[in-house]
Structure 1
Amino acid sequence: MVIPIQGELPQLLDSTAADTAWVVTITLLCAAVTMPISGRVADMVGKQRVLVASAVLLLVSSVVCALSSSLLPMLVGRGMQGMAMGFIPVGIALLREIVPPRMAGSAVAAMSATLGVGGAIGLPLSAWIVQAGNWHALFWVSAAVAAAVLVAIVALVPHVHDAHPAHFDVAGAVGLALGLSLFLVGLSKASTWGWASGRTIGCVVAGLAVLVAWAVLELRTAEPLVDLRSASRLPVLLTNVAAVAIGMGMMAQAIVIPQLLQLPDVLDYGLGQTILQAGLWMAPGGLMMLLFAPVSSRLMSTLGPRTTLMIGATVLGLGYVVTFFLMGEAWHLMIGTLVISIGVGIGYAAMPTLVLDHTPVREAGSAVGVNTLMRSLGTTIASALMATVLTSDTQPLGPVSVPTESAFQLCFVISAIAAFVGVAVAATIPRGSRTAEQGPEQDVAEPVAGAQVD
């Protein structure tokens, strides 16, 4: 949402570039921390209630941002927007309870695809809004969309009584939030602070230490925030590891390709596109993710989610191979983006399906939240790594330095490797899961036992 105005934020918010970089970082950070917590709360109080709360939070946070003209309130609003992202894993888990089994695969695939569709469509839309009016309009539009979503949830989403009352693990939530915050801040700021700087190493090491202590605490807690014993089941564990690698592969296109499109055409490899034009070249990829959601569902029904995940990750990796060789024209990059997006559309739906098929219903929200967190971890690693590559190999262009062609190519190579690592990890997920052994009509969990729908 803020990408079209990111370069202007220091002037718009009367602050420094280093400080306004947190406008993006804090959203990613809060989203990563909130997803598993929202999932656990949804398992306890009911998923529809958490969806309503997330939509309200998005509405309020968008209004806060729309009214902001300085850094602090903008950071508060953007952090709240990140917290509203808990909507996604809870929504995916709820679909398995309210959609008929024969349609659940398509529904989960479609919602999983929205993780990429929103970004692909949001970039050109945000650029157009900024060019057509005031930058505050970005957040007023977001508030209007949030209000519409809130009304739709209340009016259209069935009120499933799926709550499993339990004690909320406050210590676990605090420990997870602290550990993830330190670790992800270290990663996201590594390209700015330097990978070998004391701040980067200190944040990463401290974050890992806190997370280890948190894991020990969770294993000793009767009602933990995250059931690590369930998460350590081999199919779930390997799916989450694959999610990190595939998340890395997915994020690179959103970071690298728009920069390549917008480089001045005085460079041999620059394409001279405006940010609006770049967004329009990227937008078909988002639509492709949505179009291939039914394909993913069909593949899961016939081949199982494990094989579907491998196919999606393979196509994702091949997309970067195509992009490596097709960098000469904007439409060439669009072809690469389409292939990458097909891979994401196929693979992203398989991951929550694999997790849900090996997780008790009472822990569904939390389990999908952890899987979404692992994808977010992959995107954060990709962001830091791509930024480091692009700033480490540059050439002068007037008063500034820009990444070289080889830097962009290296990014595509790294992304392809990450996707193919995801294929290798997915291949080790044990066969014989419920979805693989049973027919397509049985591969989705039945609605919650005893659940009632208003």
Structure 2
Amino acid sequence: MTEQPVGGVEVKALPVARSEARLLVPALMFIALVVAAVASVGAPLITSVATSFHVSLDSAQWTLTVALLSGAVATPVLGRLGAGPHRRATILATLAVVVAGSALTVLPLPFGWLLAGRAAQGVGLGLTPLMMGVARDHLPEERSAAAIALISVVSIIGAGVGYPLAALVADLGGVRAAYGLGLVVTAAALLTAWRSMPEAPEGRSAHVDVAGALVLAAALLLVLFLVGERTLWSQHLAVAVGLAVVAVVLLCVWAVIEMRSTTPLVDVRAVRHPAVAGANLAMFVGGVGMYLLLTLITRYAQTPHSAGYGFGLTTFVAGLVLIPFSALGYVAGKLTPRARTRIADPLLLAGSAVVVGCGFALFAAARSDLAELFVAMGVLGFGVGSFTAAMPGVILAVTPRSETSSAMSFNYVVRSVGYSLGSAIGGLILATDTGPGHLFPDDNAYTTAALVGIAAMAITALTSLALARRTPATNPIEEPAGGTSHTTAP
């Protein structure tokens, strides 16, 4: 057992044996990849679900939305449970829920059961921060930083892996076969976790702020529901505004509860630290831009030639456009830990935002050839991979080891909301430029959306640069002997 300083205080870590460490990193990456890929499986199957279950496309869309909602709600709760002494049990129980949900998607049951299964699968999205907590607790510091960066990246590129694979299996064997693939890989992830997950270090708190969890869950459900239901804003504006006010009030109530709790779900004081607050702001705005470009390119690729633009690609072939995104995202994730030895994490965030902005510029200026979409998607993947690999370093540099899962869980919730908002903004811009009686928007709508994305990434880059200027002057969050964290005055 070795000791490593965290926030100026010596705390005990539990490194695993060298042979076990070699197996632990691939296991952590595999689990993060599986839960991300399975949650994204709903995207290419929406049309197939609508046809197979005889429901509307709006109803079928919930097979994707419900997974994102359950993931956003479960993430902070799992983050707190993962910060306690029962992290291994939490991981195994969560994967068991995901496997059970996967079984529901395969069995010949009515549509409601499919939604329930997709909701259970989405819970797995909350496991990624726990994988980071395991890496930080049980790997040497130099290895844990690289492992955490890769875990963060594979949680993004999982969508790029799951989308074309699910589309191919659905074309060959139908929607149940595609969901069956999810059952196989989630069962493999559960077996992997059972064999490889170590116990959490001793001395961690096991308490969970139930009241805070319920209030935050209600607020997040409202926020993500309002973001995803664009028709509510256009047809029932008063209701949408009223629900938005309720969501803001709930978030304020949640913040008060967390400030007064001795065992908060999320350490709000830590979130207020300049480095953490700046990183979460950059994640939110950057997430809006990143997901906006991802949805723009995939939708453009599938638009039929009759619209006057687009390539009319099938779901599977359109999914292949995501391959450059995944491949270059992984490359960026491997390179970023080396770059961190020479470049500060906030500067890497700023540079990554500029790269994503260049992807927007390429898409806005040149999209008449399919190869140009591949290039733009590759640039996006490299920027997103670098951004997500650098993000944990900014937050964890001022976060106690015991709060790794909780701190990163909050960041992942922020990312989920940003991604959802990016998707909604893209849909709103395209819908605004869709003429009466037309199914597809004008080509200029994509240029407008790209310019909005460039603005979002510019804000992200400026926020990251401001964070870089403040980082040397900020004080770390300290972890006293009892394991409960607090912040020093910034």
Common fold: TM-score over 0.5: yes
Retained in 2: the 8 A contact 1:285–1:341? yes
Task: State the aligned residue count.
Answer: 441
How far does residue 449 in structure 1 lie from its aligned partner after superposition? 11
Q: Which residue of 1 aligns with 2:44?
A: 4
Whether 1:122 and 2:193 are equivalent positions in the alignment is: no
How far does residue 54 in structure 1 lie from its aligned partner after superposition? 2.4
Retained in 2: the 8 A contact 1:110–1:294? yes
Give deviations 1:180-213, integer Å, cap 9, x for gaps: 1112211111245528623322222111111111
Structure 1's 435 and 123: CA in aligned 2 closer, same or farther, altered over 3 A?
A: farther
> 1:242-261 counterparts in 2 under 5 A?
242-261=282-301
Q: Which residue of 2 aligns with 1:412?
A: 450
- CA separation in 2, counterparts of 1:93 and 1:436? 23
Q: Which residue of 1 aligns with 2:439?
A: 401
TM-score in terms of structure 1 length: 0.91
Whether 1:264 and 2:307 are equivalent positions in the alignment is: no
Q: Which residue of 2 aligns with 1:440?
A: none
How far does residue 226 in structure 1 lie from its aligned partner after superposition? 1.1
> Which range moves more in the overlay, 99-108 or 367-376?
99-108
Secondary structure of 1:136's counterpart equals: helix
Q: Which residue of 2 aligns with 1:98?
A: 138
Whether 1:426 and 2:464 are equivalent positions in the alignment is: yes
- CA separation in 1, counterparts of 2:161 and 2:473? 33
How far does residue 311 in structure 1 lie from its aligned partner after superposition? 1.3
Structure 1's 82 and 435: CA in aligned 2 closer, same or farther, altered over 3 A?
A: farther
How far does residue 414 in structure 1 lie from its aligned partner after superposition? 1.4
Secondary structure of 2:399's counterpart equals: coil
- CA separation in 2, counterparts of 1:428 and 1:82? 34
Structure 1's 393 and 172: CA in aligned 2 closer, same or farther, altered over 3 A?
A: same
Give deviations 1:383-409, integer Å, cap 9, x for gaps: 11111111111247xx75102111111
Quick one: which amino acid aligns to residue 391 of structure 1?
A: A
> Which range moves more in the overlay, 319-328 or 3-12?
3-12
How far does residue 321 in structure 1 lie from its aligned partner after superposition? 0.8
Retained in 2: the 8 A contact 1:33–1:177? yes
Q: Which residue of 1 aligns with 2:178?
A: 138
Q: Which residue of 1 aligns with 2:415?
A: 375
Structure 1's 24 and 435: CA in aligned 2 closer, same or farther, altered over 3 A?
A: farther
Q: Which residue of 2 aligns with 1:186?
A: 226
Whether 1:75 and 2:115 are equivalent positions in the alignment is: yes
> 1:38-437 counterparts in 2 under 5 A?
38-161=78-201, 164-191=204-231, 193-194=233-234, 197-395=237-435, 400-429=438-467, 431=469, 433=471
- CA separation in 1, counterparts of 2:322 and 2:202? 39
Quick one: which amino acid aligns to residue 331 of structure 2?
A: L
Secondary structure of 2:367's counterpart equals: coil
Retained in 2: the 8 A contact 1:172–1:217? yes
Structure 1's 182 and 47: CA in aligned 2 closer, same or farther, altered over 3 A?
A: same
Retained in 2: the 8 A contact 1:47–1:162? no
Secondary structure of 1:301's counterpart equals: coil
Runs of 4+ in structure 1 displaced over 4 angstroms? Answer: 430-437
Structure 1's 78 and 17: CA in aligned 2 closer, same or farther, altered over 3 A?
A: same
TM-score in terms of structure 2 length: 0.85
> Which range moves more in the overlay, 313-322 or 195-204?
195-204
- CA separation in 2, counterparts of 1:65 and 1:261? 28
Retained in 1: the 8 A contact 2:347–2:468? no
How far does residue 307 in structure 1 lie from its aligned partner after superposition? 1.2
Runs of 5+ in structure 2 lacking a partner?
Answer: 1-40, 484-490
Superposed CA RMSD in Å reads 2.5
Q: Work out the percentage of aligned pairs sharing the same amino acid.
A: 27
- CA separation in 1, counterparts of 2:51 and 2:448? 33
Give deviations 1:353-377, integer Å, cap 9, x for gaps: 2111111222211110000111111
Structure 1's 195 and 369: CA in aligned 2 closer, same or farther, altered over 3 A?
A: farther
Structure 1's 362 and 393: CA in aligned 2 closer, same or farther, altered over 3 A?
A: same
How far does residue 174 in structure 1 lie from its aligned partner after superposition? 0.4
Secondary structure of 1:271's counterpart equals: coil
Structure 1's 142 and 162: CA in aligned 2 closer, same or farther, altered over 3 A?
A: farther
Retained in 2: the 8 A contact 1:281–1:331? no
- CA separation in 1, counterparts of 2:474 and 2:370? 41
Retained in 1: the 8 A contact 2:49–2:175? no
- CA separation in 2, counterparts of 1:310 and 1:436? 19
How far does residue 127 in structure 1 lie from its aligned partner after superposition? 1.0
How far does residue 111 in structure 1 lie from its aligned partner after superposition? 1.0
- CA separation in 2, counterparts of 1:417 and 1:71? 40
How far does residue 32 in structure 1 lie from its aligned partner after superposition? 1.0
Secondary structure of 2:83's counterpart equals: helix
Structure 1's 226 and 377: CA in aligned 2 closer, same or farther, altered over 3 A?
A: same
Give deviations 1:162-187, integer Å, cap 9, x for gaps: 56124211100000001111122111
Quick one: which amino acid aligns to residue 466 of structure 2?
A: T
- CA separation in 2, counterparts of 1:163 and 1:408? 53
Give deviations 1:229-265, integer Å, cap 9, x for gaps: 1110010011001100111122123311111111112
Q: Which residue of 1 aligns with 2:20?
A: none
Structure 1's 283 and 93: CA in aligned 2 closer, same or farther, altered over 3 A?
A: same
